[in-house]
Amino acid sequence: MQITQDKKRNLFIKSYGCQMNEYDSERMTEILEKHNYSSVDEPNQADLIILNTCHIREKAAEKIYSELGRLKKINLNSERDIKVAVAGCVGQAEGHEIIKRSPIVDLVFGPLTYHQLPEMLEEIESKPGSPNKKLVNIDVPDEDKFLELKGSRKNLKSISSLLSIQEGCDKFCSFCVVPYTRGVEISRPSKQIISEAKELIGIGAKEIILLGQNVNAWSQSNETDIDMTFPELIKEISKLNIDRIRYITSHPRDMTEELMKSHKEITKLQPYLHLPVQSGSDKILKEMNRNYTSQEYIDIINKTREYRPDIAISGDFIVGFPGETDYDFEATLDIVRKVKYAHAYSFKYSPRPGTPAALKQEQINEEVKSDRLKKLQELIRQQTKDFNAGFLDKDIDVLIEKKGIGENRLTGRSSYLQPVHMSGDTSFIGEILKVKIVKTRDNSLEGIIL
Ligand code: 5AD
Ligand code: SF4
C-alpha cells in the first residue's frame, strides 16, 4: 500500500502508560519509516503527530486532552498541514468523542488496528478541492495484526528490547478497562515470537523483555503444530544468543510451579518477578474479581523463593477501592510487610467508565485515598531502600545500557532491575560487567566497574 506519493515527512510520536504502548509505538514508527517518515523530537517539526494513549486511570486519560490543547496552538501557528492522531486505549475507549471534544484530531484508532496506519493515512490525506476527512477506526479486525506488521525490526537499536507475546485480557478485574480497550486475550504463535527475537538479537539486543497484559497466561495449543507452555517458550528463547530474559506483567492465577522453577533452571531468566496483588484484603480481592486470596498470593511468593531465594518481588497496589475499610487497608500494609517488596507501584482507585466497580455505591473519598496512598508508599519506599542497602560492597553483574548523565557516566541494570550508575567508557555499552556497589540510594545503586 502506498501513502500518497510517499513524500518525505516527519513523525512525532509520544507514548503514554505501559510498556505495551512503548512497544506499539516502536512498531508504528517502523511501519511509517517504510513510507518515508522520519522521527523528530519536537511536535512543531512534524507532519504527523501520534499520541499513543493510556486509559487505565482518569488522570492518564485527561492528560491527553491537555496535550491536545497544547498541540492546537502549535497547529494554528504552523504552516505545515499537521495531521494529529490519537492512538492507544483512549482512542479505543472514546472513539468519536475525541474528535467532538478536540476538532484538531484527524484520526482515532486503537491498539488493535495500528497495523492499518498506511491505509488510514491515505484516507485522511488532504486532497485539493475536497474538505479534510476525519477517520475513527476502532473496530476489531479479523486479521492477525502481528502478521500484517510489515515494518522490520531492523532499525531500532536497544540493548534491552521489548517483545510483545500476548495481548488483551479475559480476566475482567472489576476496576480495569483493559479487557474493553485491548480486547480478548490472544497469544502470538511461538514461531513468530522466536523469529522476532532473532531480529532483535540481530540488531544488538542483549536483553529481551517479553510483554503481555497477562504474560504468564501465554500458551500455545491447537492453533499451530506444537503445544507449548510459557516456561517452555522462555527455554526456547534462552537457546538464542541473548544474555538476559525478563517477562511482565504476570497474574497470580497463572503462576504455575513450572514457571516458578524456571527461575532456578533457566540461568538467563532474571531473578525478578512483577506480580501485582492489588490488595491484601480477601474481601476486596473478591470484590475486585481477582480470584485468589492473600494467603494464596503469599504461598506463590514463598514457593518461588524456594526455587530462587534472591528473587526481587515487585507488585501493583490499588488503595481506596469501593468499600475498602481501614481494616482492609491494614491488610494491604500487612501483606507488604510479609512479602518485603524490592519495588512496587501503587495507585489511588480511579473509577473507569464501563467497569463494574465504577457503579458501586461505597466510593471512597479522595482525602482517605490520598492518606492511604501516602502510608503505603512510605512503607514501599522503605522496603526498596532496604532491598538496595543489601547490595552495599557486593560485586554484581550489570548490563550496561546507555550513556548516563554527565561526562564519562554509564547507566545499566542489575539482574534485579535496579538502575546502576557508574563512571566508564561508552564502549562498554551492551556488555555485562562486574560492578562493585559503593553506594545505595532509595531507587538506584552507585558502582565501580571492576
Ligand atoms: N484505578 C487505579 N489503578 C488501576 N490499575 C488498573 N486499573 C486501575 C484503576 N481503575 C492499576 C493496577 C494495575 C496497574 C497496571 O494499574 O494496579 O495492575
Ligand atoms: Fe486489568 Fe485484571 Fe486484566 Fe490485569 S488481569 S489487565 S488488572 S483486567
- pLDDT at residue 227, rounded to an integer: 82
Q: What pLDDT is stored for residue 223 in this prediction?
A: 56
Between the alpha carbon of residue 42 and those of residues 12, 16, 28, 344, the distances in Å are 7, 16, 17, 32
DSSP conformation class of 269: B
- Which range has the worst mean pLDDT, 68-72, 140-144, 318-322, 399-403? 140-144
CA of residue 433 to ligand 1 center, whole Å: 36
Confidence of residue 1 (pLDDT cuts 50, 70, 90): very low
What is the spatial distance between Cα 180 and Cα 175, in angstroms, rounded to a whole number?
11
Cross-sheet strand order for the sheet of 48-53? 37-39, 9-15, 48-53, 83-87, 107-109, 135-137
pLDDT of residue 231: 97
Q: What is the pLDDT of residue 4?
A: 53
Q: Report d(CA 167, CA 246) in Å as an integer.
A: 17
How far does the centroid of ligand 1 lie from the alpha carbon of residue 440, in Å? 30
For the Cβ of 248 lying below 6 angstroms from any atom of ligand 2, the answer is: no
Ligand nearest to C-alpha 275: 1
CA distance to 121, 231, 236, 370, per residue, from 333 (Å): 50, 32, 39, 15
Averaged over 209-220, what is the pLDDT? Answer: 94
User: Which ligand has the nearest atom to the CA of 274?
Assistant: 1
The pick from 18, 184, 213, 255 for probing ligand 2's pocket by mutation, whose C-beta has the most ligand atoms within 8 angstroms, reads 213
User: Which pLDDT score is estimated for 225?
Assistant: 57
Residue ranges of domains in the chain: 9-137, 145-368, 395-449
Q: Is 179 in the pocket of ligand 2 (CB under 6 A)?
A: yes
The ligand 2 atom nearest the CA atom of 169: 3
- For the CA of 54, the nearest ligand: 1
The two beta strands, 9-15 and 419-423, are unpaired
Ligand nearest to the CA of 167: 2
For 34-43, 55-64, 130-139, 343-352, which range has the lowest pLDDT when averaged over its residues?
A: 130-139
pLDDT at 74 exceeding the cut of 90: no
User: For the chain, what is the mean pLDDT?
Assistant: 93
Q: Is the CB of 260 under 6 A from ligand 2?
A: no
Q: Is the CB of 83 under 6 A from ligand 2?
A: no
Per-residue model confidence as pLDDT tens digits over 288-326: 999 999 999 999 999 999 999 999 999 999 999 999 999
C-alpha span between 145 and 416 (Å, rounded): 33
Give residue-wise pLDDT tens across range 75-124.
777 778 899 999 999 999 999 999 999 999 999 999 999 999 999 999 99
Distances (CA, A) of 369 to 287, 327, 372: 17, 14, 5
340 neighbors 311 (Cβ within 8 angstroms): no
List, in order, residues 6 or more apart from 298 with CB less than 8 Å away: 335, 338, 339
What is the DSSP secondary-structure string of 68-81?
HHHHHHHHHH-SS-
Nearest-5° Cα angle at 431, 429 to 436: 100
278 lines ligand 1 (CB under 6 A): yes
149-167: pLDDT as tens digits = 766 676 666 899 999 999 9
Report CA(147)–ligand 2 centroid distance (Å).
25
Q: Is the pLDDT of residue 5 over 80?
A: no
Looking at CATH, the fold of the domain delimited by 145-368 is given as pyruvate-formate lyase- activating enzyme (3.80.30)
Ligand nearest to the CA of 348: 1
Look at residue 415 and tell me whether its pLDDT is greater than 60.
yes
The answer, yes or no, to whether any atom of ligand 2 lies below 6 A from the CB of 56, is no
Domain 395-449 CATH (choose: 3.30.70.1520, 2.40.50.140, 3.40.920.10, 1.20.120.1200): 2.40.50.140
pLDDT digit string, tens, across residues 356-366: 999 999 999 99
Question: Is the beta carbon of 318 within 6 A of some atom in ligand 1?
Answer: yes
CATH class of 9-137: alpha beta
Q: What is the pLDDT of residues 8-21, one digit of tens each?
A: 999 999 999 999 99
Distance CA 246, CA 218 (A): 14
Ligand 1 centre distance from Cα of residue 203 (Å): 34
C-beta 272 within 6 A of ligand 1:
no
Which residue lies with its CA nearest to atom 1 of ligand 2? 176
Q: What share of the chain has pLDDT > 70, as a percent?
A: 94
Give the residue ranges of DSSP H helices in 34-183.
58-77, 88-94, 96-101, 117-124, 145-148, 178-181
The pLDDT value given to residue 329: 98
Residue where the block lists cell 554527565: 406
| Residue 56, ligand 1, Cβ within 6 A | yes
* Residue scoring higher pLDDT (220 or 156): 220
Burial of residue 407 (CB within 10 Å: 0-12, 13-18, 19+) is exposed
d(CA 159, CA 177): 32
- Pick the more confident residue, 225 or 255: 255
pLDDT at 78: 76
pLDDT for residue 3? 52
Q: Is the CB of 319 under 6 A from ligand 1?
A: no
C-beta 445 within 6 A of ligand 2: no
